[in-house]
């Protein structure tokens, strides 16, 4: 006789559980919200403590893969929200350990001194990301005006049969790519020069789009944030119509202290 659906569910094995770790915080931290974490269904956030440290965690079903856009957004939002109140060492997405004991024994206890010092170094500091994207037509006109060969090729191609000018188009595309790379390097250096002496550290991120102008992460003391605001204002005026700028942050210090899971890549 066939079992009912209710009986099937009753006899089904419990899903395998793991402990997902978002980040490392000072050991005296307390959670005051009922926020949930990654996974489907998501579980409430909680704290696992060692002697000096705390790990922000939630339970996940290990038989269900992580990595949906909702998971990625939840991971980042939880870390960014935490970092507004206390220093936090963000774990890279996907850090799952077998149990709370494993969180203590494999992650917190072996790194007690190192993580404690890193948290001390982050006290009162946040990451901000300066991101700029070129206005396509404006930057093309700019780089063509600075290079006679590129301008000549563009003029030769204009209005011509695409098949007959195929080689010239390829040559122009390669040349424009090189000119944009040089322009990006100059503009990135201009931003770095403007922030020199006004940040704790910086990381130049690799471009993710051919029209990326600047993409720099800064670690700032609270007293340095006003200088970043002024730099963005000045650069926006200098690059008006050429680069569209935005600042992301404050956020967790991903570019400076992102941690891999125990046994994972450095």
Give residue-wise pLDDT tens across range 58-104: 999 988 889 999 999 999 999 999 999 899 999 999 999 999 999 99
What is the model's pLDDT at position 170?
A: 86
The pLDDT of residue 194 is 97
pLDDT in tens, 2-56: 455 554 544 545 568 899 999 999 999 988 878 999 998 899 999 999 989 999 9
Cis status of the peptide bond prior to 41, with omega within 30 of 0: yes
Q: What is the pLDDT of residue 15?
A: 61
Please, are residues 100 and 19 in contact by the beta-carbon 8 Å criterion?
yes
Q: How confident is the model at residue 192 (pLDDT cuts 50, 70, 90)?
A: very high
Longest dimension (CA), the chain: 84
DSSP β-bridge partners for residue 127: 219, 251
How far is the C-alpha of 81 from the C-alpha of 29, rounded, in Å?
A: 14
pLDDT score at 5:
52
Better-scored residue on pLDDT, 156 or 217: 217
Q: Assess whether pLDDT exceeds 50 at residue 266.
A: no
What distance in Å separates the CA atoms of residue 104 and residue 112, rounded to the nearest whole number? Answer: 10
In the beta sheet, which residues pair with residue 216? Answer: 130, 204
Average pLDDT of the residues in 97-117? 95
pLDDT tens digits, 123-154 = 999 999 999 999 999 999 998 888 888 888 88
Q: What pLDDT shows up at residue 14? A: 59
Output the six-digit token pair for 102. 């494993």
Contact 38, 60 (CB under 8 A): yes
The predicted pLDDT at position 65 comes to 87
Determine the Cα–Cα distance for residues 239 and 241; give it in Å rounded to an integer.
6
The model's confidence at residue 265, banded by pLDDT at 50, 70 and 90, is very low
Confidence of residue 116 (pLDDT cuts 50, 70, 90): very high
- Report the 10 Å Cβ neighbour count for 119: 20
Q: Note the pTM of the prediction, 2 decimals.
A: 0.85
Residue 198, pLDDT > 60, answer yes
95/252 Cα distance (integer angstroms): 16
Q: Which two tokens stand for residue 23?
A: 């980040």
User: What is the distance between the alpha carbons of residues 19 and 38, in angstroms, rounded to a whole number?
Assistant: 11
pLDDT at 166 over 90: no
In 88-211, which ranges are E strands?
A: 89-90, 96-97, 125-134, 201-204
Predicted local distance difference test score (pLDDT) of residue 9: 47
What is the SS3 assignment for 193-207? Answer: HHHCCCCCEEEECCC
Residue among 81, 101, 105 at smallest CA distance from 33: 81
For the record, the structure tokens of 107 come out as 């992650």
**Domain map (residue ranges) of the chain:** 5-123, 127-255
């Amino acid at each position: 006789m066939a079992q009912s659906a209710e009986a099937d569910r009753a006899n089904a094995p419990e899903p395998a559980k793991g402990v997902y770790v978002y980040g490392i915080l000072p050991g005296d931290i307390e959670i005051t919200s009922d926020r949930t974490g990654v996974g489907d269904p998501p579980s409430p956030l909680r704290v696992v403590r060692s002697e000096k440290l705390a790990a922000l965690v939630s339970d996940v079903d290990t038989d269900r893969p992580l990595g949906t856009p909702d998971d990625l957004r939840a991971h980042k939002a939880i870390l960014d929200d935490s970092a507004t109140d206390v220093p936090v060492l963000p774990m890279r997405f996907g850090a799952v350990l077998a149990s709370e004991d494993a969180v203590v024994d494999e992650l917190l206890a072996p790194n007690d001194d190192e993580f404690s010092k890193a948290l001390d170094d982050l006290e009162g500091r946040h990451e901000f990301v300066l991101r700029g994207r070129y206005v396509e037509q404006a930057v093309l006109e700019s780089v063509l005006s600075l290079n006679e060969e590129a301008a000549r090729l563009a003029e030769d191609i204009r209005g011509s049969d695409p098949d007959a000018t195929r080689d010239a188009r390829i040559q122009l595309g390669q040349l424009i790519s090189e000119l944009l790379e040089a322009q990006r390097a100059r503009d990135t250096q201009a931003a770095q020069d403007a922030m020199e002496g006004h940040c704790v550290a910086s990381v130049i991120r690799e471009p993710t789009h051919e029209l990326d102008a600047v993409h720099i992460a800064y670690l700032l003391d609270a007293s340095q944030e006003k200088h970043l605001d002024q730099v963005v204002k000045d650069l926006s005026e200098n690059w008006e119509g050429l680069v569209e700028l935005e600042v992301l942050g404050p956020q967790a210090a991903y570019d400076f202290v992102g941690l891999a899971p125990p046994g994972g890549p450095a």
